[in-house]
C-alpha cells in the first residue's frame, strides 16, 4: 500500500470490551470515501493524471471497505484497479490481507 490509511472507528463499550459499530463507522468515513471515489473516477476517465493521488485514494477506500465489511464496494474497487493498474494488485491485496474486519484498534498491534 502506498499510504497509511486512516479510518475513523465508532465503538461502544459493552461488558468491559469495545465493539465496533459497522454502520456508524462507515457513515463517519463516508465524506472521505466519496471524495476518494471522485478522484478514482477522474483518474479512470483520464482527467486526473497524478498516479500518487489515485493510489492513495484507492488504498484509503480499499481499507475502509475491507474494515467495514463492504464486500461489494471492495470488489468493485479491486476490479477497477485490476483493469487500470493490474501490476498494483499484488501489493494492494497483500496490504488488504492485514486489515481486520470490524476489530477494535489496539495500541499494541502494529499499524495496518
pLDDT along the chain (112 residues), means of 10: 81 92 97 96 87 92 96 96 88 93 74 52
pLDDT given at position 108: 45
9 within some domain: no
56 within some domain: yes
What residues contact residue 51 under an 8 Å CB cut-off, 6+ apart? 43, 85
29 within some domain: yes
Q: Where are the beta strands (DSSP E) in the chain?
A: 11-14, 17-20
102 within some domain: no
pLDDT given at position 87: 86
Instruction: Note down the domain range covering 63.
Output: 18-96
79 within some domain: yes
What residues contact residue 108 under an 8 Å CB cut-off, 6+ apart? none
Task: State whether the Cα torsion 105-25-67-5 is positive or negative.
Answer: negative
Count: domains in the chain: 1
Amino acid at each position: 500500500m502506498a499510504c497509511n490509511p486512516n479510518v475513523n472507528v465508532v465503538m461502544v463499550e459493552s461488558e468491559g470490551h469495545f465493539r465496533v459499530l459497522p454502520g456508524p463507522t462507515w457513515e463517519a468515513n463516508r465524506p472521505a470515501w466519496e471524495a476518494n471515489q471522485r478522484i478514482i473516477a477522474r483518474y479512470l476517465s483520464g482527467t486526473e493524471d497524478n498516479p500518487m493521488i489515485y493510489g492513495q485514494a484507492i488504498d484509503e477506500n480499499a481499507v475502509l471497505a475491507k474494515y467495514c465489511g463492504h464486500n461489494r464496494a471492495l470488489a468493485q474497487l479491486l476490479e477497477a484497479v485490476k483493469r487500470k493498474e493490474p501490476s498494483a494488485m499484488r501489493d494492494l491485496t497483500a496490504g488488504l490481507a492485514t486489515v481486520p474486519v470490524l476489530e477494535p484498534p489496539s495500541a499494541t498491534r502494529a499499524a495496518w
